[in-house]
């Protein structure tokens, strides 16, 4: 029997920085601040999801995708909240961090009940750029599409 050792590549400082970055990043998206959201990715950042035929590559594409979704949700009167949790910082290589977490999308229609729209696995490559964190590569796997 082979038992993988759990990776222990993190420190308190790094772990909480990633947690705080995740919170702030998703607050931006849920607030509809799509250009600021896009700037939480590197200029050549990749956002890939098994729910989409092709990844969004680069800030322009990421902005456009977020803007379209934000507009659709606003029109439908639905508030989205992205919850990222169960964060595991799995690797550190200089200013590059590999992290794995779970992400929920919770939607609440105006006057209605909240529902979990999607449960997903999120695997990120995050870079420290000029003192800030930016996603270089995000891979989202929606549980219903596995």
Instruction: Name the site residues for its own copies (rule: CB under 8 A).
Output: 1, 3-8, 10-13, 15-17, 19-27, 33, 35-36, 39-40, 79, 81-89, 100-102, 104, 106, 108-119, 131-132, 143-146
Smallest distance from its own copies to CB 102, Å:
5
Element (H, E) at 70: helix 59-76
Give the nearer residue to its own copies in terms of CB position, either 61 or 118.
Answer: 118
Smallest distance from its own copies to CB 1, Å:
6
Give the nearer residue to its own copies in terms of CB position, either 23 or 72.
Answer: 23
Smallest distance from its own copies to CB 54, Å:
22
Smallest distance from its own copies to CB 21, Å:
7
Residues 66/37, Cβ–Cβ less than 8 Å: yes
Give the nearer residue to its own copies in terms of CB position, either 86 or 96.
Answer: 86
CA-CA distance, 5 to 128, in Å (whole number)? 27
Give the nearer residue to its own copies in terms of CB position, either 1 or 54.
Answer: 1
Count of alpha carbons within 13 Å of 111, Cβ hemisphere only?
2
Residues 35/22, Cβ–Cβ less than 8 Å: no
Q: How many CB atoms lie within 10 A of CB 35?
A: 12
CA-CA distance, 37 to 30, in Å (whole number)? 9
């Amino acid at each position: 029997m082979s038992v993988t050792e759990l990776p222990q590549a993190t420190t308190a400082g790094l772990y909480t920085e990633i947690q705080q970055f995740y919170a702030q990043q998703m607050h931006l998206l849920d607030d509809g601040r799509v250009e600021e959201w896009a700037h939480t990715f590197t200029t050549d950042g990749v956002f890939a999801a098994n729910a989409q035929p092709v990844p969004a590559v680069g800030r322009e594409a990421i902005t456009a995708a977020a803007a379209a979704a934000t507009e659709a949700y606003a029109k439908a009167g639905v508030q989205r909240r992205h919850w990222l949790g169960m964060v595991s910082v799995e690797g550190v290589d200089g200013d590059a961090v590999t992290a794995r977490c779970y992400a929920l999308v919770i939607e609440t229609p105006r006057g209605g009940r909240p529902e979990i729209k999607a449960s997903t696995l999120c695997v990120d490559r995050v870079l420290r750029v000029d003192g800030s964190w930016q996603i270089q590569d995000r891979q989202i796997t929606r549980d219903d599409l596995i």
